């Protein structure tokens, strides 16, 4: 299945919803499941639907297989029945132009971004890659309060002259666990999305000369952009999907993560040593080879539109703008 978090306008302001994609539209998971329960004669369908298939992605993932089954029930019911509203009058289907797409996980508990593709590391750091990079997956902690959304204009940080994009995939954790062996790690991944890890390169490299960071090189409003959808693992072969980045419709980057040194399973095994991951945690794959401006010798300009496309997931578009 393919999921989207989105906002719709209501009488008291915008509300967040969770949708499953069906025939180019978004089926509201909570409202659709309530409608299916009501059809089957359930006495309190709205309360049960909100408990088993909540509209917040993190809460939805915490319900595990029960929530996934509810989402499939909602999609199937709305698709096969001629209904437009649920038992409480909520709309069941939305066209994308009716809503504002959000990051699939709008409020992640944690974001960790790894460096897994050797070509990118060599291009970024030079030929002398530290031995430790080959031995263990290396990551940094991104700021979970700096999430950007599909279609959002990202404000250019006033302190940088070298703003860059990064073409990455992201694994979404689906259940709590620690000390997870790589052989069991796939069971903890709920799905995958696109990740644009925006970077202020001049500040990033200045910070890292002090052997710490990145900090302000990565942390600014909207710097971690995810979306537009989360696709469940059964629908995508992430190691072989085609990935592309364009800037103002000009192709800058193309590639895949198939040549990575460390897989998501390796990352999860390393990360969870004596540490818990939780539903809605996000894990970045690292940038594909030649997947950022740093490797190409060119950076973004104010007003540029970046579009990251991954087959099977979609296209994540954002503009970078001066305030």
User: Per-residue confidence of the chain (323 residues) as pLDDT tens digits?
Assistant: 999 999 998 777 789 999 999 999 999 999 999 999 999 999 999 999 999 999 999 999 999 999 999 999 999 999 999 899 999 999 999 999 999 999 999 999 999 999 999 999 999 877 789 999 999 999 999 999 999 999 999 999 999 999 999 999 999 999 999 999 999 999 999 999 999 999 999 999 999 888 888 999 999 999 999 999 999 999 999 999 999 999 999 999 999 998 899 999 999 999 999 999 999 999 999 999 999 999 999 999 999 999 999 999 999 999 999 98
pLDDT of residue 12: 74
Q: Which of 111, 114, 129 is nearest to 267 (CA)?
A: 114
Q: Which of 113, 117, 116, 171 is nearest to 140 (CA)?
A: 113
Q: How many other C-beta atoms are found inside a 10 Å radius of the C-beta of residue 275?
A: 12
Question: Which CA distances in Å does 59 have to 17, 50, 63, 66, 221?
Answer: 12, 10, 7, 12, 24
pLDDT of residue 323: 85
Q: How many other C-beta atoms are found inside a 10 Å radius of the C-beta of residue 178?
A: 11
Q: What residues are paired with 13 via a beta bridge?
A: 10
Reply yes or no: is the peptide bond before residue 161 cis, omega within 30 of 0.
Answer: no
Phi and psi dihedrals of 91, rounded to 5?
-65, 140
pLDDT of residue 47: 97
Q: Which of 241, 291, 280 is nearest to 116 (CA)?
A: 291
Q: Give the Cα-Cα-Cα angle 50, 56, 59 (nearest 5 degrees).
A: 75
pLDDT of residue 33: 98
Q: Which two tokens stand for residue 60?
A: 């939805």
The model's pTM is 0.97
130-146: b (≥16 Cβ within 10 Å) or e = eeebeeebbbbebebeb
* Range(s) of the chain covered by CATH 2.30.30: 2-100
- What's the rounded Cα separation, in Å, for the pair 208 and 215? 9
284-293: b (≥16 Cβ within 10 Å) or e = bbbbbbbbbb
Contact 52, 120 (CB under 8 A): no
Residue indicated by tokens 């999907």: 241
- Strands 224-231 and 147-148, bridge-based pairing: parallel
pLDDT of residue 128: 85
Give the count of alpha carbons within 13 A of 83, CB side only: 26
- What's the rounded Cα separation, in Å, for the pair 171 and 78? 28
The CATH number of the domain covering residues in 103-321: 3.90.850.10
Contact 117, 260 (CB under 8 A): yes
Q: Does domain 2-100 fall into CATH 2.30.30? A: yes
Q: Which of 27, 42, 8, 2 is nearest to 81 (CA)?
A: 27
* Range(s) of the chain covered by CATH 3.90.850.10: 103-321
Maximum distance among all Cα pairs of the chain, rounded to whole angstroms: 66
| Residues whose CB falls within 8 Å of the CB of residue 159, separated by 6 or more in sequence, listed in order | 200, 203, 216
pLDDT of residue 249: 98
pLDDT of residue 288: 96
pLDDT of residue 51: 97
pLDDT of residue 9: 87
Q: How many other C-beta atoms are found inside a 10 Å radius of the C-beta of residue 296?
A: 14
């Amino acid at each position: 299945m393919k999921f989207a978090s989105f906002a719709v306008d209501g009488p008291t302001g915008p509300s967040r919803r969770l949708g499953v994609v069906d025939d180019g539209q978004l089926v509201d998971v909570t409202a659709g499941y309530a409608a299916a329960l009501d059809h089957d004669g359930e006495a309190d369908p709205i309360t049960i639907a909100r408990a088993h298939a909540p509209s917040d992605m993190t809460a939805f993932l915490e319900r595990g297989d029960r929530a996934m089954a509810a989402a499939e029930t909602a999609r199937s019911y709305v698709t096969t029945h001629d209904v437009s509203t649920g038992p409480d009058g909520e709309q069941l289907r939305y066209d994308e132009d009716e809503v504002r797409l959000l990051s699939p996980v709008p409020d992640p508990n944690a974001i960790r971004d790894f460096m897994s593709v050797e070509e990118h590391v060599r291009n970024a750091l030079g030929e002398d890659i530290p031995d430790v990079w080959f031995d263990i997956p290396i990551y940094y902690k991104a700021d979970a309060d700096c999430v950007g959304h599909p279609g959002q204009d990202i404000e250019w940080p006033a302190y940088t002259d070298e703003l860059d994009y990064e073409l990455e995939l992201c694994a979404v954790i689906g259940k709590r666990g620690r000390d997870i062996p790589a052989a069991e790690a796939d069971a903890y991944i709920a799905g995958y999305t696109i990740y644009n890890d925006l970077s202020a390169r001049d500040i990033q490299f200045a910070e890292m000369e002090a052997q710490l960071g990145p900090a302000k090189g990565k942390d600014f409003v909207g710097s971690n952009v995810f979306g537009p959808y989360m696709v469940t693992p059964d629908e995508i072969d992430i190691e072989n999907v085609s990935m592309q980045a364009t800037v103002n419709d000009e192709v800058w980057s193309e590639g895949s993560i198939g040549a990575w040194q460390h897989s998501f399973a390796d990352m999860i095994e390393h990360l969870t040593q004596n540490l818990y991951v939780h539903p809605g945690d996000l894990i970045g794959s690292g940038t594909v080879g030649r997947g950022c401006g740093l490797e190409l010798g060119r950076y973004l300009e104010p007003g540029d539109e970046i579009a990251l496309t991954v087959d099977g997931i979609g296209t994540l578009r954002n503009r970078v703008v001066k305030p």
